[in-house]
Amino acid sequence: MKNKLAVTALILCITTLLLAILSPEPFAAIRSFYSGPFRNLYVFGKYLSSALLIMIAGVGIVLSFRGGQMNLGGEGQVYSGAVAALAVGLFFPELPRGIGIPLLLLTAAAVGFLIASVSGWLKYRLSLHELISSFLISGALVYLCDYFISGPMRDETSYLITTPRIPETYHLSQILPPSPLHSGLFIALAAVVFFRFWLARSLSGYRLRMFGENPSFARFGGISSRNYHILPIGLSGALYGLVGGIALLGVHYRAIQGFTSGLGWNGIAAALIAGLHPSLTIYAALLIAFIETGISSAMAGAAATYDLGRIIQGAIMMLVTLKLFRDRDRGGLL
């Protein structure tokens, strides 16, 4: 935990330094950054709403990396899951709430699972590295989803590039009105708890960890190579798809072009900051959401620019990636 606190302090120091150097109003920018997420109830709820999505995505990447698979397709998997859930919601607009919401979320998760599993299968059958295939498939799917949102599914009455809203029956319940925080928070916490114990206590979780740490030894012990080429990255994709479904049902209620952008990369950052421990993704998600909300607050006060926010996020990704390779060299990450 001391290592995590040190990483947090370093990230915050880098962010503060960049705001001080690059912002035209450094003191106002720093003040807005640290106070922004707690400015009022609405912003605080929005902060937690962002954190819960990153939390689920982070758990997905933990499962993928612990299973020896590198899923870089999160952007496309989140986006595709959201668009698939939207399509089901618009096609079946009158289902009971108790059936409609689970159906839409399961659809989003299933689509994410299928997309990610393709990369696992390609690695098993053709030895094509999943890092490359997942990234390329994701890029193609982002453009495909953009096409559906701007074309066949577009709401012609809106000035935005967006689709019609899903029926209100399918909206997740708010739990901190008037903020956008919703009942997806309980889904996120349940996912963290379930996969923490599944990874540590179940036979299949043990096999996944074993295959990720030493595939040759795992095969020698009778663990299916095919199953564990697909399962880790498939579960990761399912959780990414679930993130898209929750973003749709709990926050946006319709698909706006690019509305899930960044969630895939934030999931990777959360997993790495958490040291690939599912329970610590709660802490990592809160940290990343705090930084994003703080930067947005600084930008809203005209004390920082959009480009500065992207520079800070890029610096954080570089930091956690360097930490990944350092810990792997020491043999302590997995």
Number of Cα atoms under 13 Å in the Cβ half of residue 52: 24
pLDDT (average), residues 190-208: 94
pLDDT (average), residues 274-303: 86
Between 9 and 332, the more confident residue is 9
Helices (H), the chain: 2-22, 26-35, 41-66, 74-91, 97-126, 130-150, 184-201, 203-213, 215-220, 225-247, 263-273, 281-300, 306-330
| Residue 84 lies inside a defined structural domain of this protein | yes
| Residue 10 lies inside a defined structural domain of this protein | no
Q: Is the pLDDT of residue 154 over 70?
A: yes
User: Please, which pLDDT band fits residue 149 given cuts at 50, 70 and 90?
Assistant: very high
d(CA 69, CA 119): 9
Q: Is the pLDDT of residue 309 over 90?
A: no
Contact 19, 299 (CB under 8 A): no
Instruction: Give the 3-state secondary structure of residue 174.
Output: strand
User: Please, which pLDDT band fits residue 78 given cuts at 50, 70 and 90?
Assistant: very high
d(CA 245, CA 166): 12
d(CA 117, CA 189): 25
d(CA 290, CA 136): 30
pLDDT (average), residues 34-48: 91
Q: In which domain, by residue range, is 241 found?
A: 30-301
Q: Can you give the pLDDT at residue 303? A: 57
Contact 154, 162 (CB under 8 A): yes
| Residue 320 lies inside a defined structural domain of this protein | no
Between 23 and 180, the more confident residue is 180
Q: Is the pLDDT of residue 308 over 50?
A: yes
Contact 134, 72 (CB under 8 A): yes
DSSP category for residue 284: H
| Residue 131 lies inside a defined structural domain of this protein | yes
Q: Can you give the pLDDT at residue 28? A: 83
| Residue 330 lies inside a defined structural domain of this protein | no
| Residue 6 lies inside a defined structural domain of this protein | no
d(CA 297, CA 202): 43
User: Please, which pLDDT band fits residue 300 given cuts at 50, 70 and 90?
Assistant: confident
Q: Can you give the pLDDT at residue 248? A: 97
Report pLDDT digits (tens) over 79-128: 999 999 999 999 999 999 999 999 999 999 999 999 999 999 999 999 89
User: Please, which pLDDT band fits residue 332 given cuts at 50, 70 and 90?
Assistant: very low
Give me the amino acid identity at 220.
F
Q: Can you give the pLDDT at residue 333? A: 47
Between 258 and 221, the more confident residue is 258
Percent of the chain whose pLDDT exceeds 90? 63
Report pLDDT digits (tens) over 79-89: 999 999 999 99
pLDDT (average), residues 46-61: 96
Q: How many CB atoms lie within 10 A of CB 10?
A: 13
Q: Can you give the pLDDT at residue 160? A: 85
- Report the range out of 30-34, 162-166, 175-179, 289-293 with the highest average pLDDT: 162-166
User: Please, which pLDDT band fits residue 74 given cuts at 50, 70 and 90?
Assistant: very high
What is the b/e burial string over 186-220, where b = at least 16 CB atoms within 10 angstroms of the residue's CB?
A: ebbeebbeebbebbeeeeebebbbbbbeebeebee
d(CA 22, CA 217): 51
Report pLDDT digits (tens) over 222-264: 887 888 889 999 999 999 999 999 999 999 999 999 999 889 9
Q: How many CB atoms lie within 10 A of CB 145?
A: 26
| Residue 60 lies inside a defined structural domain of this protein | yes
Q: How many domains does the chain have?
A: 1
* Residue 256 phi, psi (nearest 5): -100, 140
Percent of the chain whose pLDDT exceeds 70? 92
Q: How many CB atoms lie within 10 A of CB 152?
A: 9
Rounded to the nearest 10 degrees, what angle do helices 184-201 and 281-300 cross at?
Answer: 150
Q: Can you give the pLDDT at residue 221? A: 79
Mean pLDDT is lowest, of 150-164, 175-189, 293-307, for 293-307
| Residue 16 lies inside a defined structural domain of this protein | no
d(CA 267, CA 252): 19
pTM assigned to the model: 0.92
Q: Can you give the pLDDT at residue 324? A: 56
Q: Which CATH number belongs to the domain containing residue 212 in this structure?
A: 1.10.3470
Q: Can you give the pLDDT at residue 334? A: 42
